[in-house]
Structure 1
Amino acid sequence: MVATLESTPENATHWSRSKMAERSGLSKSTVGRIWKAFSIKPHRTDGFKLSNDPFFVEKVYDIVGLYLNPPESAVVLSVDEKSQVQALSRSQPAFPMMPGMPEKRTHDYARHGTTSLFAALNVVDGTVIASTHRKHRAVEFKKFLAKIDAQVPEELDVHIVCDNYGTHKSPTIVSWLARHPRFTMHFTPTYSSWINQVERLFAEVTRELLQRSDHRSVQTLEKDLRNWVKGWNENPKPFIWTKTAEEILESLGRLLKRINGAGH
């Protein structure tokens, strides 16, 4: 385990079972069992980028507070745009799944245009307000805010959690918000999309619809996106947030210590 975590093999970036077996004198199967027991997977890697937001701590407390203790007489909406969703048609028909053989699809395809899915996820009940637009400028975001305003009962305040994309802070949006005082914007820290719950919704629509989609026009893609959201709202599933702000900050603190300890 020490060798796995603190060294690399000669002429390689990470350990394999065969290289570690040669290094340790153990069998490859034994190396595999030890790694499995400690949940170590040297062949895998994930990406990350730490936030450089000077108000990171304050924003984490603000947004997590909304998730764990939503204000009364208000709705909390996690908002973002899934931009550049492509209408793709595969070059050949797919081979259907059969016993012992997964579905097979060609890797090449034709592009037929793009659209953007605007979504507002109610963090309490899991319902979604959504729209599709061919562009995602300030004018489209203002239209989406107007749609939210029309669909949320007027007696409720509206708290919007969104990222720092320029259109969300443009003069057009600032002016619109000034005329709609029941709306309050809560901006996520930079490089912290993980704190915006709507990203989980986008992961679901990607997995269930877009990953294997076959659309020969933007219109059919947009229709399927609207139908997917409609189906979601028939049986909405909120994503239950469990970590407190303190737990998140402690976890990041441990990560920073590990990074500094590795000499980066």
Structure 2
Amino acid sequence: MQAAQVKALACQFPAEAGAPLSRWSCRELARKAVERGIAPFLSASTVRRWLDQDAVKPWLYRSWIFITDPDFRPKAARILDLYARTWDGEPLGADEYVISADEKTSIQARCRCHPTLAPGQARAMRVNHTYGRGGALAYLAGYDVHQATVFGHCEPTTGIAPFMTLVAQVMSQEPYASAKRVFWIVDNDSSHRGKAAEDRLVAAFPNAVLVHTPVHASWLNQVEIFFSVVQRKVVAPNDFTDLAQVEDRLRAFEDRYNATAQPFQWKFTTSDLDDLLARLDRHIADHPEESSVALAA
């Protein structure tokens, strides 16, 4: 009986139980259970054991978002088709390329106040917590999806001009300069949003085609995978003397990456997309109150 009551409490929001918390911990659940008279004494370890029986973990959370783009399916499908080397139902030619582009913003130079210590026997790398701020920069990159080649450069900030500099960096060299078409997959950031951005790109490079992801769907943009590699292998744990060192490290890593990289094994297809959308439709049909909340928001 006590275990069932604690599990029921764990499945409530803390605020509903009068606790000024955002999430429950086992210790807080034990404390609240004693306050409510569920048990005269209860340890956090006992609460954890009870919750483990039903895999209840109220201290964890997952975020989600409703699809708000009315053209989500066609926008997403044409990107997935490009990854499969097709466009409007026709296969891409050998002289057609797909570039996935975006900006990784606010890469900081944190100069640690004491030298970072290399790992040793039974000891992890040690990075001093205290640091001085050396500024921040943006890293703009275009990733050739099928050639696994990255083109990037750093800027003080993002914007239309820095993005067009990236485009020129790619489009001014072969094989892109003389290609039949070069498709640029981008998200809906203000640097390359909407019809104005499409017109600006074509005016500068007539063989360039701007392709936008659906709203809130940057996960469809493969360059984000490359940025995650950069975060793990170059930026973290962030120990740089200044921004020049950040830029040098990024440039050197780019060369290293291009020397051995293979295309990402992208497995999400239009069939997977249709299955996903069908599951979402069924979920909304079974939980209409969630869609009502989304529309009200």
**C-alpha separation in 2, matches of 1:198 and 1:31:** 43
* Structure 1 unaligned residues grouped into runs of 5+: none
**Aligned residues of 2:109 and 2:243 also touching (Cα < 8 A):** yes
Q: What TM-score comes out, normalization by structure 2 length?
A: 0.73
How far residue 196 of structure 1 moved from its aligned partner, in angstroms, is: 1.3
Q: Secondary structure of the residue that 1:112 maps to in structure 2?
A: strand
Q: What TM-score comes out, normalization by structure 1 length?
A: 0.81
Aligned-residue RMSD, C-alpha: 3.3
* Structure 2 unaligned residues grouped into runs of 5+: none
**C-alpha separation in 2, matches of 1:184 and 1:114:** 31
Q: Secondary structure of the residue that 1:88 maps to in structure 2?
A: strand
Percent of residue pairs bearing the same amino acid type: 24
Equivalent position to 2:233, from 208, 215, 218 = 208
**Aligned residues of 1:64 and 1:245 also touching (Cα < 8 A):** no
Is residue 167 from structure 1 mapped to residue 157 from structure 2 by the alignment? no
**Aligned residues of 2:10 and 2:24 also touching (Cα < 8 A):** no
How far residue 55 of structure 1 moved from its aligned partner, in angstroms, is: 2.0
**Aligned residues of 1:114 and 1:134 also touching (Cα < 8 A):** yes
**C-alpha separation in 2, matches of 1:186 and 1:91:** 45
How far residue 77 of structure 1 moved from its aligned partner, in angstroms, is: 1.2
**Aligned residues of 2:187 and 2:213 also touching (Cα < 8 A):** yes
Within 5 A, what are the aligned runs for 1:42-57? 42-57=58-73
Note the alpha carbon deviations across 1:99-152, whole angstroms, 9 max, x for none: 444333233321222222111112223221112222322222112111111234
Within 5 A, what are the aligned runs for 1:114-263? 114-153=136-175, 154-169=178-193, 174-243=199-268, 244-253=272-281, 256=284, 260=288
Amino acid aligned to 1:44: L
Q: Secondary structure of the residue that 1:250 maps to in structure 2?
A: helix
Within 5 A, what are the aligned runs for 1:99-118? 99-118=121-140
Equivalent position to 2:74, from 36, 44, 58 = 58
Change (3 A) 1:86 1:255: farther
| Bigger Cα displacement from structure 2, 167-176 vs 244-253 | 167-176
Aligned residues: 261
| Bigger Cα displacement from structure 2, 249-258 vs 123-132 | 249-258
Q: Secondary structure of the residue that 2:172 maps to in structure 1?
A: helix
